[in-house]
Amino acid sequence: MLSAAIDQARPLLGPTSDTAPPAASAPSSWGRRLHAVRTAAGISQRELGVRAGLESSSASSRINRYELGVHEPDHRISRRLAVILGVPDAYFYAESDDLAALILLWGRIPDLAQQRLLSAAILAEQEARADPSTMERASLLRNS
């Protein structure tokens, strides 16, 4: 069930290192994720930049540079972009695509469902600590 939910969120993650075409300098995960949610929202680079408070004359090129990974915006701009695009700011900074997908899904579910998911995660972590082989099996499953 979790893998189906993650698969559903994958289009908003953009191509991963496994699926992205080789490039001289590949975009950062941050930029790749920005591009994915911006295009999914149907917003141009210029429009997004202007709505985030960038000058209209440079808005498109600044967003383009963020998406290409040439620059990364400061947290204030990052937060504005996240609000405009309707995603949690943490989505851009997640260390893995699976975590980014989980953050997206987390932001879409109601508070009660978030509390249930958090309780289930705490229980799973406690069980894993009680049986270390559980963590090894989970790691093997992720890497297969």
Query: Which residue type is seen at 48?
Result: L
Contact present, 48 and 81 (Cβ < 8 Å): yes
36/86 Cα distance (integer angstroms) = 13
91 plus 61 within the same structural domain: yes
Is 39 exposed, middle or buried, given 0-12, 13-18 or 19+ CB atoms closer than 10 A?
middle
Give the pLDDT confidence of 45-104 residue by residue, as tens digits. 999 999 999 999 999 999 999 999 999 999 999 999 999 999 999 999 999 999 999 999
Are 93 and 81 in contact by the 8 Å Cβ rule? The answer is no
* Domain of residue 140, residue span: 111-144
Tell me, yes or no, whether 87 and 143 share the same domain: no
What pTM was computed for the model? Answer: 0.71
Structural domains in the chain (count): 2
Integer angstrom CA distances of residue 19 from 13, 14, 44: 11, 9, 24
